[in-house]
Amino acid sequence: MQPSDDVSPTPEPQASWTPLLRARRAALKWAQKSVPGVRGVAGCGPSAQKWPGPRDFLACGQVHKRRPRILMREGGTWGRARAAAPEARYRAVGRADTPRAAGTVKWEVRKRTGTCTREGEMWRGTHISRVEQVKLLDRFSTSNKSLTGTLYLTATHLLFIDSHQKETWILHHHIASVEKLALTTSGCPLVIQCKNFRTVHFIVPRERDCHDIYNSLLQLSKQAKYEDLYAFSYNPKQNDSERLQGWQLIDLAEEYKRMGVPNSHWQLSDANRDYKICETYPRELYVPRIASKPIIVGSSKFRSKGRFPVLSYYHQDKEAAICRCSQPLSGFSARCLEDEHLLQAISKANPVNRYMYVMDTRPKLNAMANRAAGKGYENEDNYSNIRFQFVGIENIHVMRSSLQKLLEVNGTKGLSVNDFYSGLESSGWLRHIKAVMDAAIFLAKAITVENASVLVHCSDGWDRTSQVCSLGSLLLDSYYRTIKGFMVLIEKDWISFGHKFSERCGHLDGDPKEVSPVFTQFLECVWHLTEQFPQAFEFSEAFLLQIHEHIHSCQFGNFLGNCQKEREELKLKEKTYSLWPFLLEDQKKYLNPLYSSKSHRFTVLEPNTISFNFKFWRNMYHQFDRTLHPRQSVFNIIMNMNEQNEQLEKDIKDLESKIKQRKNKQTDGILTKELLHSVHPESPTLKTSLCFKEQTLLPVNDALRTIEGSSLADNRYSEYAEEFSKSEPAVVSLEYGVARMTC
C-alpha cells in the first residue's frame, strides 16, 4: 500500500458513523488551519460498513523540510505503518470501542524504539517539529565545547538527539521559564529553566526557528485546564482493575488504625462527609470523642477557610496527639466559645497531660499584622490550659525569593569558594530549612518529653502546617521512614489535608505569586535527616529526587489539584494513574543499603540543628550537570559489599551443612586430608566483582570497617578471630578449622 497525501471523497455515512466523521472533518479543518501542510486525518476507513468492535488506528508523522506532513494509514500494527511510511520517526496509536468514541480517542505517540513520548490529542500528538544543527551548551564546561544535534518538539516533550544518538528529554510541564537571548554570530540562544532544576542552553542556527520554538514552549508549558495535563493522556498499559488497585494501595483509614484510633478519646467524624463544613479538608476526619457536631461547626466558622482543629497523628504510647488547623478569625478581641471548647476537648483527650501547646509556625510579627485583617492568633486569656509558641517560618513569598537567589548562585559559572558560600548565605535558603527543622523538633520533644498534645497552624493551614506536622511525625514514628510509610505520610499530611500542589507547583497557567517551593523544602529537610541518620531510613535520596520529579511532571494524578474535593470532581482515580505502585515496583532502586530496621536507637530521631550540620544538596540542584566533578557512590560500594556478604553467608551455611553430615559419619573427629579437599570452598576473593575490586580510591581501612548489623558473616568471623591467632594444633575442631580455611 503506497502512502497518499490526498483525502479521497467520503460517501454519505450511515447514521452510526456520523459522529465519527464529524470528528474527522473537524480535526482536519483545525489541523489545516493550524499546521501548514497537513493533508489528511487518521481514522477509520470510509468504506467500512459497520463498526468491527474495538479498532486500532495508526498515523505516522514526519517533518519534511519545514512543512509537516501527516501520512495517514489505517491498521493495528507498527509494521504496516512502517511499510507505508518507512521514513517516519514517530507513530500515533489510538483505540476506540465505538464510532462515537473515535472522535475523542486518546492517541499515543511512540518513537520507533518504543520510548513513550506522548499520549494525548490526535493532532497535538502527531504534529512534530524538527530543527537541525542545534547546539547544546554545558553551562559549567571550561572548554566551551558543545553538542550538535537535532531538536524535536512534540506535544509533551522537547527532545534533543546529538550526533552520538544520545537523547535528552525535557517534559513541557517541567519547564519553568523560557528566555530567548540576543542574536549572536553562532545563532540565536535559547535558555530553558526547569522546575526540577535542570538548565539547558541551546543555540538555534536561525532566529526564525528559535522564535517558533520559543512561542511553542511558552504555550505548551502552561496549560489552561487540568484535562490538558499529561496525566489525563498517559497510558501505562494497565486495565481499569490495575488502575483501581494502584489508587487503593494507600488506605488512610488503615493508617489511623495503625496509630490506634478510633479509641476511647478520639472518634471518626462524618461532619465533613459532603465537604459542607470545609471544602479543603478530606471527608473523613478524626476529632475528640467529646466534641459534638455543633462545636465542630462553630469552630469551623471561627477558623480561616473553615479549617477547624482535627487529628493529624496520634502517639499511642504517650497518648498525645498532633492536631492541625488554620489561624483563628480573632482580630484584636473576637472569641468563639465553640472553638475554645474544641481545644479544651483536645486537651482532655490526653489523660497524661492536661495542658497542650498551640504552635503558630509564623513569625510573631506576621501573626500580629494579620490581626488588623480580622485574623491573627489565639488569645491565651480565652483558652484554658494552653501554652503558646511561635516558631518563625517565613511565608511562601519569602521562600520563593530565597530559592530564586539560591538558583542564581548555583547557575553562576566560575564562582570562587568565598563567593559561592557568601551567595548561599545571602539566599537564606538553609536558614529557612533550619527553621522548619527546629519547629518539627520542638513538636517531637513536646510529645516525647512532656507527653503534651500539640495544635499546629499557620495562616491557612496547608503550607507550613503540613511541613511541621509531617516532619514531626517522621521524627516520632519509624514507620514513616520506610518507603511505603513515607508514601502514606505524604498522602495523609499533604494530599488529603489540602496542600495546594497545583498552585504551588504551577501546574496550570495561574498566578505566579502562588508558586512556592513548600514541598521541595520538606523533601530537603528529610534529606538532611537521612544525612544525620543514615541507618534510620529505608530509602535513599534517589527516592526523594524521584518524588520531586513527579510533583512537577503531571504524569500521575496524585499531585494534581489543590484538595480532595477538587480531585474527586476531576475524577482522577478514573482518568489517571497513581504514582505509588510504580515506585514500589522499582523500590530496589531506592533502597538504602545502610538501613537497619531492627535498630532500637532510631525509634525517635533527635537531630542536631547546629549550623555545620546543614549543607548544600548537590544532587538535587546539580543532578543534571554531568560535567561537574564526578563522585564515587558510597551506596554502590556498600551494595557491592552486601552482595558479597550474602554470598559468604550462603557459602558458610553450605559448609556447616557438609560438616554436620561428616560429623555423623566419623567418630574420631580428626579432620582428614580427604575431608579438607571435599569441603574447602572457592575463595570469596575470586568471586568478588571487578567493579568492587577496582574501587581504588576506597582506603583499605574503610573497606574493612564493620557496619553495625551488616551481616551474620562479619559477626561469625569476629568470633573466630581469637582462634585464628593461635598456632595450628595437630587436631582441631571441625567447625573452627573450616571457618579458618574459609576466611
Q: Which residues are annotated as a binding site?
A: 395-396, 458-464
**pTM of the shown model:** 0.72
The pLDDT mean for the chain works out to 77
Note whether 548 and 196 are within 8 A (CB).
yes
Span of 108-112, 193-197, 581-585 with lowest mean pLDDT: 108-112
- In 3D space, the residue among 99, 67, 62, 93 whose CA is nearest the CA of residue 80 turns out to be 93
Note whether 130 and 87 are within 8 A (CB).
no
Task: Name the active-site residue from 278, 325, 336, 458.
Answer: 458
Note whether 61 and 127 are within 8 A (CB).
yes
Give the pLDDT score at 409: 93
Give the pLDDT score at 674: 53
Q: Which residues are annotated as a binding site for substrate?
A: 395-396, 458-464
CATH architecture assigned to 129-221: Roll (2.30)
Give the pLDDT confidence of 241-262 residue by residue, as tens digits.
Answer: 999 999 999 999 999 999 999 9
The residues that bridge with 356 in the sheet, in sequence order, are 386, 453
The pLDDT-based confidence of 670 (bands split at 50, 70, 90) is: low
Distance in angstroms (rounded) separating the CA atoms of residues 277 and 473: 26
Distance in angstroms (rounded) separating the CA atoms of residues 670 and 735: 12
Give the pLDDT score at 339: 96
Domain ranges of the chain: 15-126, 129-221, 245-531+539-621, 634-742
Residue 743 annotated in active site: no
Give the pLDDT score at 414: 79
Higher pLDDT pick, 182 / 54: 182
Which grid coordinates are listed for 452?
Answer: 503534651
Number of residues assigned to the chain:
743
Can you spell out the DSSP letters for 26-90?
HHHHHHHHHSTT------S-TT--S--SSEEEEEEEEEETTEEEEEEEE-SSHHHHHHH-TT--E
Tell me phi and psi for residue 227, to 5 degrees: -65, -15
Q: Answer yes or no: is pLDDT of 55 > 50.
A: no
Higher pLDDT pick, 29 / 35: 29
Which range in 95-104, 215-224, 454-463, 645-654 is most confidently predicted, on average pLDDT? 454-463
- In 3D space, the residue among 58, 98, 54, 105 whose CA is nearest the CA of residue 77 turns out to be 58
Give the pLDDT score at 64: 31
Q: Answer yes or no: is pLDDT of 163 > 60.
A: yes
Residue 441 corresponds to which amino acid? I
Give the pLDDT confidence of 548-607 residue by residue, as tens digits.
Answer: 999 999 999 999 999 999 999 999 999 999 999 999 999 999 999 989 887 667 789 999
Q: Answer yes or no: is pLDDT of 697 > 50.
A: no
How much is the average pLDDT of 45-73?
33
Which range in 76-80, 350-354, 715-719 is most confidently predicted, on average pLDDT? 350-354
Name the E strands within 172-216. Answer: 175-180, 188-194, 199-204
